[in-house]
Structure 1
């Protein structure tokens, strides 16, 4: 994995999140650390996953929040202000089944047109695993605990709560697929 693009992604995320949203920055760093663990199963796509992990929540930055939907705001910022590549912006825009939340917000068509889903299910699943097994403070957690934490923080009837309840089966399935690959991964040394 090339360090230069990863350093760029870390600098952008830090610049947008560290000061205004330190807890979100801690989560982002934890998600990136989880992404590094998947290098053995992703091969040449490992660097892209780490960059997406570092940037997946950049749209929460107050100065970037134009629609209030962080995956879309973040992907637009990366595309428009930084000329980020298509795969990266599409991963950020669609992380953790964001399309379902976009539907709750009346933004599904906009998201689908601007940032179509990636066809690489392993990469999509990997980012879901990284995000959904990391606490808001950046520590590791189980997917069940993470889903419960999100519901508790936002409330079951909020937009995010409705989205999480709808997306939970997909999130659980994605995490299970990644964990099965991790178990099957050969151990070295």
Structure 2
């Protein structure tokens, strides 16, 4: 079984039944990852696998800390023997260090999981933050606004996403620039 088939199988098993909306979201994020193939080169399969798995930590079967990037990365590393690069991308997706800081888990996340290459971190931010909870395309501004509205501006997630917004927008701009340079405007 190749990396993406393996990743889809795990994600569907962990999310489809208990969290169908989250399952729709990760499928949309994986679709966005496929659209980035022209700029990802040999990392295209890795990115699609990370995209479909990035929210696996929400699964009620493995949500131990309540911080889905950490729970998902630990599950993939410890129970699924996942590719280390996929694990690192899941652990650090969409500015997770800032949310970890809000939750008092930054030291744990940093000590257990190294950051992946910046262009791949940007690509996963782009894919996640340009996909709605239902899997449709959106803008980073609309996505950040939706998250603040859904969780509330004074919650952990609301505070984190507002702090992360400048980096989210900057990462999406960097990906857009790479796409344009490759003759693939989005």
Shorter-chain-normalised TM-score: which range? over 0.9
CA distance in 1, matches of 2:57, 2:149: 22
Partner of 2:14, secondary structure, is helix
1:32 maps to 2:12:
no
Gaps of 5+ in 1: none
CA distance in 2, matches of 1:31, 1:23: 12
1:184 maps to 2:165:
no
In structure 2, the residue matched to 1:5 is 3
CA distance in 1, matches of 2:178, 2:19: 33
CA distance in 2, matches of 1:66, 1:49: 25
TM-score norm. by structure 1 comes to: 0.96
CA distance in 1, matches of 2:93, 2:183: 27
Gaps of 5+ in 2: none
CA distance in 2, matches of 1:176, 1:49: 18
1:54 maps to 2:52:
yes
In structure 2, the residue matched to 1:149 is 146
Partner of 2:170, secondary structure, is helix
TM-score norm. by structure 2 comes to: 0.97
How far did residue 54 of structure 1 move?
0.6
* Paired residue total: 184
CA distance in 2, matches of 1:166, 1:186: 32
Q: In the alignment, which of 9, 19, 22 is matched to residue 21 of structure 1?
A: 19
